[in-house]
Structure 1
């Protein structure tokens, strides 16, 4: 903080010592006005950002899953790349507006962890589902009929079902092995809970103010990449209820009667939400900043340290008083000696 220069004059003290007196009081120069406080984006802006972000993320994941599976290589790796890069770019683009959730499980976990408001939970979910569904609607509308006929699919919906999440005979490995390898409901539930918990845990961790990570979107992108790689062959990698809902709407079966691949959607809401909740509870239990409680009893080590500090302060105060007293005595003796040495009139 800048200070003004002051004029200093000297005045004689009664004992002959010089006493510095200031003709002008020392005061700090007026500080510049503080910048205006950062305001939160409106709910409409945040919901728009969430819809846009989920649209872009689902477009990348489902779009690659829809067409790349017809190549000779594995399609899980390209989907994971698309998801990881897509979520990193979108968080960097609009994360400062809405927080960059793009996933109901992420919003749920952040809300439990105290990073988001409960009143925003359902509106965020709606925006995410709407954005994801718009992306799959665009992809569904652009599937050429000639492709459906060339692949001997019954309908466009049956072709699109390959992008949906499922288990048992709807698992990707079941199709690749001609039904010889299938994953049970329990296996699908377990893998989705675990990978989502890890994914949401990474998000909560890297966005903690104490982490001081400058490239959080990249870390989140890598986490989603790993989650898709692990769960892709088993369930087609949900980790995101909005992404699962968007694919299920245009797939075969019925969401409400639990028929077909669309009828398995319920698990891909339950498992990710449970995983996100577990990550948040783990954070609150072990990693969240703890607030000091006035009435909380001190540990023996803390009490001993505080007692030692008090004793050091008392000893320092006594030493200071002793030094000041000695200095005063010496000054008095010096003054008395000077007066004795002066010639008498």
Structure 2
């Protein structure tokens, strides 16, 4: 039996994440989430939750509905279980942890992103296909495109009940309630009767184009499930998280002489306090070296200018060029990580 060790995340999602999740709120910001009562961008946890949803996408049918449970999402995200209150009972997750999942899904579904514009990016071209020329075909599309996003990260969110229970969307008004805290959007749930056994979700199609092969895509990045162990150990270290996904996105194992100031802007970190931000990045690299993500790194002042240069080498275990690293054999009797638990 095998289980996946990595999962693909659309590069468009990784590209807009620094602006979308816990970015500084300024008038010049390209993104303006709109929701009554929301005075800041989406919280960092919503980003980790989004990547957890990517891990549940069917690689053979990326556009299919994601069917999961809060329990499965907590397990994927490496949350710790509480000891059983009584002998004979299994460990479980806390109500606060379940509430965190529910609130995060609520925000991803109901928060309206008013505008994100990125690019121009090169249009995807299958291997062996020649570059299109306007001279050859006046109707052909250009070889670059602008990524424009306006809408919601999740395009659907629905509770699923046992077969003998009427779905919430088909139930009388007095038997259901809108559980969305945002006051915007509709997440209907039955007031009485059996609990939901599943939740069904779909990501906006623009955030899965790298998985579906749509021409307007910039590919995907393989993310190891072990990123959630790093999140668990350092849950509030934003520079670390930003740097981690930046390193995973790089296609080379080593990068040299990168401009540190440009990197800070790319990661949407604080550009006003350069000394502190540099210190934060150095500390983040120390952690990534300790956890085995990078083999080595170097940050030094350039002798001929006032610029600070960065070089690093990813460890072989975190250099996701070889797809064979995606699967490992499970010991006999161990359950696959991909199998849903069916609980809510």
TM range, smaller chain: under 0.3
Larger relative CO (CA 8 A, sep 6+): 1 or 2? 2
Higher Rg:
1
TM-score, normalised via structure 1 length = 0.24
Structure with greater strand share of residues: 2
Decide which structure has greater helix share: 1
TM-score normalised per structure 2: 0.24
